Amino acid sequence: MTDSELILTQLRAEGYETSKTFAGADLVIVNTCGFIDDAVKESLDTIGEALAENGKVIVTGCLGAKAGASSTDAGSLVREIHPSVLAVTGPHATQEVMDAVHTHVPKPHDPFIDLVPSFGVKLTPKHYAYLKISEGCNHRCSFCIIPSMRGDLVSRPIGDVLNEARALFESGVKELLVISQDTSAYGVDVKYRTGFWDGKPVKTKMLDLVAQLGEIAKPYGAWVRLHYVYPYPHVDEVLPMMAQGLVLPYLDVPFQHAHPDVLKRMKRPANGEKNMERILRWREACPELVIRSTFIAGFPGETEAEFQYLLDFMQEAQIDRAGCFAYSPVEGASANDIPGALPTEVREERRARFMAVAEQVSAAKLQARVGQTLQVLVDAAPALGRKGGVGRSYADAPEIDGTVKILPPEKASKTMKVGDFVRARVVAADGHDLVATLV
């Protein structure tokens, strides 16, 4: 997301305009993902569509860094399949993309026509925004190729991150979603260097970052939500901040599995047994806590007993929001060499069994919300909400979790608009969502 935003910001700053269709544009920039095979296919299809409809295509992003079968050169994979693309760049290559744009569609005459706001252009709706705190990752999980494409962890300077957060709140953002490959590791690469913000020394460290973000959000009454948090011991100290309401009591923790041997084969940065204890401690420190996680079923060598261990973990940990992928090999990942690959049917069957348990847990959790009054951030409100609307509570991250469907208000005078915080009483649970009335 952030790469696209940087490119868009730059394009706008130079006076270029964006088009809603491929056909209506002078050229098309396709930002790709090369993480999983499905994403590779989707990216290649999009490039094909853009070539067919427009003809002038620049490719950027992770897929642009990949080599094909015939050469070790970065970008050769895309060129092998779509030889007519104008340029191919890897991720975080705003300048290279801009150079290619300048070559093929020279800059408009007056670069000052479209002035860009100081915080850049956000692709997400105005009331929520992503804050990327670092790039890359120091781990080497056996199923993942992100470190080989994006390199080791590079944390952004704390002052820059906090300035961006304040600018986003000033521009009307009501919810900030902190993202990275490994949020808990923020600052490890710079040895938690002390930076400066607002004239004060602040450490480049997750806990200091979270505390500061909470303080910055306070005057705006805004939410701060943490994603990709690995369960390292220091994360325990974030829970009291959640209990105090400084940041949302929501943690997105990609556990991927629970059995220690599978985690070892996955080369995951966390220990399975300790994770259960940690979750129990977290819930004690902050009973409101909602945990989101993703899991992989059918990893190479996973025995039925190991899988059952995962199901038991899911029950005991009561993960509020869980997603599960059937293991799918990724080209270039070391997991491909692990013996004991499982047939596709077994992987799929385990995924389905996992999701059945996950859905039971989630349904019971949602049912328990009936009767509660929640603060809801409004994402959609046609006719000023007179026809009802859709929002989210602290338990729902945008795009990945459920929603709160708000019923049309009884009094026509009760209106709401996108980006408002409203209070709503839950009257029913409906699949992954809640149904509520304004109070």
Interaction mask 92-131, ligand SF4, x per CB under 6 A? ----------------------------------------
Considering the complex, state which of residue 5 and residue 182 has its C-beta at the smaller distance from ligand SF4.
182
Q: Identify the residue among 141, 213, 296, 418 touching ligand SF4 (CB under 6 A).
A: 141
> How big is the CA angle at 275 (ends 269 and 279), to the nearest 5 degrees?
135
Q: Identify the residue among 47, 101, 144, 377 touching ligand SF4 (CB under 6 A).
A: 144
The tokens 């992503």 sit on which residue? 130
Piece of 74-82, 144-152, 170-178, 326-334 that binds ligand SF4 (CB under 6 A): 144-152
Closest to 304 measured CA to CA, from 333, 347, 368, 255: 347
Q: Identify the residue among 89, 134, 155, 181 touching ligand SF4 (CB under 6 A).
A: 181
Strand 373-380 and strand 389-392: the pairing is antiparallel
Q: Identify the residue among 139, 283, 353, 365 touching ligand SF4 (CB under 6 A).
A: 139
Considering the complex, state which of residue 140 and residue 353 has its C-beta at the smaller distance from ligand SF4.
140
Going by the DSSP 8-state scheme, the letter that residue 217 receives in this structure is: H
Least gap, CB of 97 to ligand SF4 (angstroms): 23
Considering the complex, state which of residue 229 and residue 434 has its C-beta at the smaller distance from ligand SF4.
229
Return all residues near 137 (Cβ < 8 A) that are at least 6 apart: 146, 147, 150, 152, 153, 181, 182, 185
Q: Could you say whether residue 333 binds ligand SF4 (CB under 6 A)? A: no
Closest to 288 measured CA to CA, from 372, 188, 190: 372
User: Is 97 exposed, middle or buried, given 0-12, 13-18 or 19+ CB atoms closer than 10 A?
Assistant: buried
Any binding-site annotation on 137? Answer: yes
Query: Tokens at residue 379, please?
Result: 């994402």
Considering the complex, state which of residue 278 and residue 392 has its C-beta at the smaller distance from ligand SF4.
278
Least gap, CB of 267 to ligand SF4 (angstroms): 8
| Separation CA 3–CA 1 (nearest Å) | 6
Cβ atoms of 140 and 152 within 8 Å: the answer is no
Return all residues near 143 (Cβ < 8 A) that are at least 6 apart: 266, 296, 299, 327, 330, 333, 335
Q: Could you say whether residue 283 binds ligand SF4 (CB under 6 A)? A: no
Cβ atoms of 401 and 395 within 8 Å: the answer is yes
Q: Which of residues 182-201 bind ligand SF4 (CB under 6 A)?
A: 182
Least gap, CB of 212 to ligand SF4 (angstroms): 24
| Separation CA 265–CA 258 (nearest Å) | 12
Piece of 136-144, 270-278, 368-376, 381-389 that binds ligand SF4 (CB under 6 A): 136-144
Considering the complex, state which of residue 54 and residue 138 has its C-beta at the smaller distance from ligand SF4.
138
Piece of 63-71, 110-118, 143-151, 376-384 that binds ligand SF4 (CB under 6 A): 143-151
Piece of 98-106, 137-145, 283-291, 364-372 that binds ligand SF4 (CB under 6 A): 137-145
Return all residues near 419 (Cβ < 8 A) that are at least 6 apart: 125, 126, 127, 172, 174, 377, 378
Considering the complex, state which of residue 129 and residue 141 has its C-beta at the smaller distance from ligand SF4.
141
Piece of 135-143, 316-324, 344-352, 425-433 that binds ligand SF4 (CB under 6 A): 135-143
Return all residues near 349 (Cβ < 8 A) that are at least 6 apart: none
E strand intervals along 348-432: 373-380, 389-392, 404-406, 421-430
Considering the complex, state which of residue 62 and residue 248 has its C-beta at the smaller distance from ligand SF4.
62
**Residues in contact with ligand SF4, total (CB under 6 A)?**
9
Q: Return the sign of the alpha-carbon dihedral for residues 144, 147, 152, 158.
A: negative
Q: Identify the residue among 137, 202, 286, 297 touching ligand SF4 (CB under 6 A).
A: 137
Any binding-site annotation on 324? Answer: no
The tokens 């047994």 sit on which residue? 273
Least gap, CB of 55 to ligand SF4 (angstroms): 35
Q: Could you say whether residue 146 binds ligand SF4 (CB under 6 A)? A: yes
Cβ atoms of 230 and 270 within 8 Å: the answer is yes
Q: Could you say whether residue 147 binds ligand SF4 (CB under 6 A)? A: yes
Any binding-site annotation on 33? Answer: no
Cβ atoms of 48 and 19 within 8 Å: the answer is no
In the annotated binding site for [4Fe-4S] cluster, the residues are 137, 141, 144
- What is the contact surface with ligand SF4 in residues (CB under 6 A)? 137, 139-141, 144, 146-147, 181-182
